Amino acid sequence: MQTKITRREWLAVSAGAAFLSGCGKEVPIVPAKVSIVRAPAYDQSIYDTMRRILADHKLDVRGRSVLLKPNLVEFEPESSINTNPLLVHAALEGFRALGASHVGIAEGPGHRRNTLDLADAAGYFKIVPDFENLFTDLNLDDVTRIRPTRQFSRLEKLYLPHTALAADLLVSMAKMKTHHWTGATLSMKNLFGTVPSGIYGWPKNVLHWAGIEECIADLHSAFPRQFAIVDGIVGMEGNGPIQGVPKRVGILVAGADPVAVDATCCRIMQIDPYKIGYLRLASGGMEAQITEENIRQTGEAIAAVATPFELPPDLPGLRIEKT
């Protein structure tokens, strides 16, 4: 008696065979590329530096929409709290030059309701022509309920703004800062600004109750198409992300893998990336994305630019141990 095998059964057998043939073999890890580029000051040279970074990463954004997500926190233009507007404008010009169909800027601050006033005080209106028309307040944008591909937090429902979800590429433009709860706030923590306060309030306290580290990992998996640029020209050390003090490093760190970018920033800040909870969560049990050997470094070497950031007062154990 001949037994016919259905197409579905054949696919299942094939998949099983493929899985078994892979048992016992190490899955090759594709190293994530992260560039460290010197940028000594917020001046006109940033435009050329940014173009070089984007060219180095061979980003193909022709005909695609790009959304730049800076970090806007407080009305203190002279401090190092907010992402510098000159850097954001340089990225805007850089992505336009690469042929992006639309480059927007968006942010949803967690403390202050008057987002455009905050952006105005931070110098965005002065530096970025037509800023108000390019900008979306993510706190007040229409929302969609989503389910992250991997969920780590106790958050039952996650609503995210249409503008951020619809972008072909979300560019997280964070400041290099210490953080009194998570140790460091970099490109991944910057995604808290995509969570709409119009739904969750000011501050977005629900995220704290659901687990800060876990929510950062949720957001990382909610936005699969990302690029990260961390502003380390002047960062913040000590009791960051608000009450710390400026720390001049003179670099930009960039890459398409936010975990690898943030792990690299930690090493530059002399913070042990394996002790940053959200990095471990987002990189899975193997922590492969954090491992230095799995990151393809371009530009400056970490050792050439590393400078110890003063740690938050309650987190003295984060310092990287010399081996």
Under 8 Å CB-to-CB from 111, ≥6 apart: which residues? 73, 74, 202, 203
**Rounded Cα–Cα distance for residues 50 and 184 (Å):** 24
**Rounded Cα–Cα distance for residues 306 and 247 (Å):** 12
Name the one residue in this structure whose structure tokens are 């002065």: 126
Give min distance, CB of 153 to other proteins, in A. 13
Nearer to other proteins, 31 or 238 (CB): 238
Give min distance, CB of 143 to other proteins, in A. 7
Nearer to other proteins, 142 or 292 (CB): 142
Give min distance, CB of 74 to other proteins, in A. 9
The amino acid at 2: Q
Nearer to other proteins, 83 or 136 (CB): 136
Nearer to other proteins, 51 or 112 (CB): 112
What is the binding site for other proteins (CB under 8 A)?
111-114, 116-117, 120, 132, 137, 140-145, 157, 159, 180, 198-203, 205-206, 208-209, 239, 242-243, 312-314
Give the rounded distance of the alpha carbon of 79 from its chain centre.
21
- Spatial contact of 185 and 240, defined as CB atoms under 8 Å apart: yes
Total residues belonging to the chain: 323
Give min distance, CB of 116 to other proteins, in A. 5
Give min distance, CB of 210 to other proteins, in A. 9
- Spatial contact of 38 and 253, defined as CB atoms under 8 Å apart: no
Nearer to other proteins, 10 or 209 (CB): 209
DSSP classification of residue 271: B
Nearer to other proteins, 45 or 205 (CB): 205
- Spatial contact of 193 and 107, defined as CB atoms under 8 Å apart: yes
Radius of gyration of the chain measured on its C-alpha atoms: 21
Q: Is 130 left (phi over 0), alpha (psi -120 to 50) or beta?
A: left
**Rounded Cα–Cα distance for residues 198 and 203 (Å):** 10
Give min distance, CB of 1 to other proteins, in A. 55
Nearer to other proteins, 139 or 297 (CB): 139
Give min distance, CB of 321 to other proteins, in A. 25
- Spatial contact of 136 and 106, defined as CB atoms under 8 Å apart: yes
Give min distance, CB of 180 to other proteins, in A. 5
Name the one residue in this structure whose structure tokens are 């910057």: 190
Angle at 247 between CA 92 and CA 177, to 5 degrees: 65
